[in-house]
Amino acid sequence: MYAHEAILNELAQELRSVDEGVEWFKGLSEGDQRKVLHALVLFCGQARACEEDVPESIARSGIRLTHTPAVMLTKWRFGMETLPAYELTKSFRLLVALFSIADTRRRALRCANGCGHAWHNLPDPPRDAT
């Protein structure tokens, strides 16, 4: 599993805070941010996100319904990695929320008795000693 994949799964499983995730995301180059958003879209699909998850995702993300990423998601349109740079952090917050909702449901329904998915068996992330 790549480092960014582990971080995204830690965020979805609330092993890392969203604020910590946003700081990590902001520290990436714009190109890497776009790659992370693309990965998040794939993860949402793998976790079986559905349109019914959208309102809760928007509420959890803290972005407004009128922000472009939220409008796109309400129309079940992805491709947020193609938005202007100033929309990327909002897209990240929204997709992390959607992934978290879908993955939580998947773990409860399909992996409740344990599973072999490496991303569902993550160790606690290392914490900064400072």
Q: What is the pLDDT of residues 41-61, one digit of tens each?
A: 999 999 999 999 999 999 999
Q: What is the pTM of this model?
A: 0.84
Domain range for 68 is 3-112
Assigned domain for 105 exists: yes
- Determine the pLDDT at residue 57: 97
Assigned domain for 117 exists: no
Q: What is the pLDDT of residues 5-21, one digit of tens each?
A: 889 999 999 999 999 99
Pairwise CA distance, residues 124 & 46, whole Å:
23
SS3 14: coil
pLDDT at residue 127 tops 80: no
Assigned domain for 129 exists: no
> Total domain count for the chain?
1
Assigned domain for 126 exists: no
Assigned domain for 122 exists: no
Pairwise CA distance, residues 47 & 99, whole Å:
7
Answer with the residue of higher pLDDT: 118 or 88.
Answer: 88
Assigned domain for 83 exists: yes
